[in-house]
Chain A
């Protein structure tokens, strides 16, 4: 591993821990008093939204296809994990392993669905693919409405409350890091080539179908993980929550942050999931304002607020301290992803 990569990985690891301790200090000091749990809830919402939006960004920003059915995969993860934890509720497994198992089950179920949807759907491209993702998400929703085990159209409640904010924080860090490292590898490079020109990619020896289905499956996996967090945070849910409007919300968050920019997705998801709560008193006008902002962003910055720019903690520190050390070339710069890229360094 090049030295610059080691350094920036270490810096990011420190950054992630610093952010963690900041949250710890805020929530444990009790400065919000009785409202602490409320703010923890907002932070948890922000976390699973971040996973949703970054995983959708894999499809939109990296692969260049837009999906309007991402909430469908989320619901698969949510319901699968909820059914699973309900089934083993009395087995005496402690909460944390139970939580991790729930995430894996949710992710795996969504990944399997993503694979089954992706194989036929990815024969299509562009608008047609977009429509088919809507159709599949609606079919999934109808299934959960009719299945008895998922509440049969009524609220499925009594799901164990496992999504503790501190756990969810680390899950989010790991998920985003995994996606980021995958993008900055030969896998990501190949998928970006497919986005740019699939015919040329095929003519360069790339098995386009394989990479597309793989990307779709991976994206669905992380949506499923987010769904599992959602289920075990909400503890009650109804299939209609995972509707077209929810999918559309994720897509707009990807685009407004900047398709292809993980930074944009993270910041976009954080603000857009925290703002509704902050603006609760203006609830009536909130979505109105949001839609106007969306149109304005699309008119003046069609590439999204952050475009394809990525925030780098290493770069920022260098700027601040004017370190003249060796510039991180190639993969070194790649690994320098702020706040979220600790994992790579630890191995």
Chain B
């Protein structure tokens, strides 16, 4: 964990899971995302933040093949992904969740996950017509694997419920389980904590850390809640008007005047203070995963917070 921490501030040494180079897209002459560069290492958690309409979701849409980039390229495990369709990108190992939840509403929780596992199932239409042994075996195995994923997000006992009948927080968790079902290397989370209460948010963080540990996957997180991003991300990239304005560790980002100006506008001082409070507070309290991950800066972060806070005062 510590070694990962060490590389996190710079470029990852091994082949990065995700590498985006000068990635950009314009809609009718308007550059929605411009010169976007990013590298994510194995089991790293990187945050992508920015004000409303900065182009965060557009980045996700580029990385999942929903939009075709008009400039640049991106690579997954060194393999060029440009021009691939969404399902092909998913096959290669990038999965996502959606800002506005998109579940298969009138299907059961279990089925939602099994749909994502379809690409790893191989029995033929003939096998399903004749109900061969391979049909029953694969369905059974997929059921079991799907249940494992549901247990990880804490939905094991809801497997036969209709997705639409789940409470909001659980729907977000189901989206994560479904994304896990695609067996990906990189998980893109689009505002996973939106609309969640603090308890649910904490549960969500546990889940995210848990799946990183269990599957060794990398996570790119879009989040509006600054305090959350500061708490969990190892590195943060800030974009505004489609342009990257800062990159670095949470502390560096918190200090960066351009970020404060762009992201927080005139209310900067006040908000910065709140944000710092929140991050300091949590680091102190949440012992387990996050603290273990962030061992080196456990001691230094609260200090930093205080330090950053004073000049503003």
Contact check, B181 vs A335: say whether CB atoms are below 8 A apart.
no
Contact check, B136 vs A205: say whether CB atoms are below 8 A apart.
no
Q: Inter-chain contact count A-B, CB under 8 Å?
A: 110
Q: Does A155 contact B (CB under 8 A)?
A: no
Interface size counted on chain B using CB atoms at 8 A:
41
Contact check, B123 vs A186: say whether CB atoms are below 8 A apart.
yes
Interface size counted on chain A using CB atoms at 8 A:
33
Contact check, A181 vs B131: say whether CB atoms are below 8 A apart.
yes
Contact check, A185 vs B111: say whether CB atoms are below 8 A apart.
no
Contact check, A193 vs B125: say whether CB atoms are below 8 A apart.
no
Contact check, B133 vs A1: say whether CB atoms are below 8 A apart.
yes
Q: Does B67 contact A (CB under 8 A)?
A: no
Q: Does A189 contact B (CB under 8 A)?
A: yes
Nearest-neighbor residue (CB-CB) of A344 within chain B: B131
Contact check, B130 vs A201: say whether CB atoms are below 8 A apart.
no
Q: Interface of chain A, helix or strand or loop or mixed?
A: helix
CA distance A331 to B127 in the complex (A): 14
Q: Does A203 contact B (CB under 8 A)?
A: yes
Q: Does A187 contact B (CB under 8 A)?
A: yes
CA distance A202 to B86 in the complex (A): 6
Q: Min CB distance, B158 to chain A, in Å?
A: 16
Interface residues of B in 64-115 (CB under 8 A from A): 64, 66, 85-87, 90-91, 95-96, 98, 102-107, 111-112, 114-115
Q: Does A325 contact B (CB under 8 A)?
A: no
CA distance A193 to B114 in the complex (A): 10
Nearest-neighbor residue (CB-CB) of B175 within chain A: A200
Q: Does A206 contact B (CB under 8 A)?
A: yes
Contact check, B103 vs A200: say whether CB atoms are below 8 A apart.
yes
A189 CB contacts on chain B under 8 angstroms: 107, 111, 114-115, 118
B86 CB contacts on chain A under 8 angstroms: 202-203
A207 CB contacts on chain B under 8 angstroms: 85, 87
B107 CB contacts on chain A under 8 angstroms: 189, 192-193, 196
Known: A202-B86, A206-B115, A331-B139. A192 touches B104 (CB 8 A): yes
Q: Mark A143-180, 1 if CB is under 8 A from B, else 0.
A: 00000000000000000000000000000000000100
Known: A2-B136, A204-B90. A178 touches B104 (CB 8 A): no
Q: Does B135 contact A (CB under 8 A)?
A: yes
Contact check, B128 vs A201: say whether CB atoms are below 8 A apart.
no
Known: A185-B135, A199-B102. A205 touches B182 (CB 8 A): yes
Q: Which 4 A-B pairs have the closest CB atoms?
A: A185-B128, A196-B104, A205-B90, A200-B102
Offer 18 A-B interface pairs, CB within 8 angstroms, sorted by A.
A5-B136, A182-B129, A185-B123, A185-B128, A186-B118, A192-B111, A199-B98, A200-B98, A200-B102, A202-B86, A204-B90, A204-B118, A205-B91, A205-B116, A206-B118, A330-B143, A343-B129, A347-B130
Residues of chain B at the chain A interface (Cβ within 8 Å): 64, 66, 85-87, 90-91, 95-96, 98, 102-107, 111-112, 114-116, 118-119, 121, 123, 125, 128-133, 135-136, 138-139, 143, 178-179, 181-182
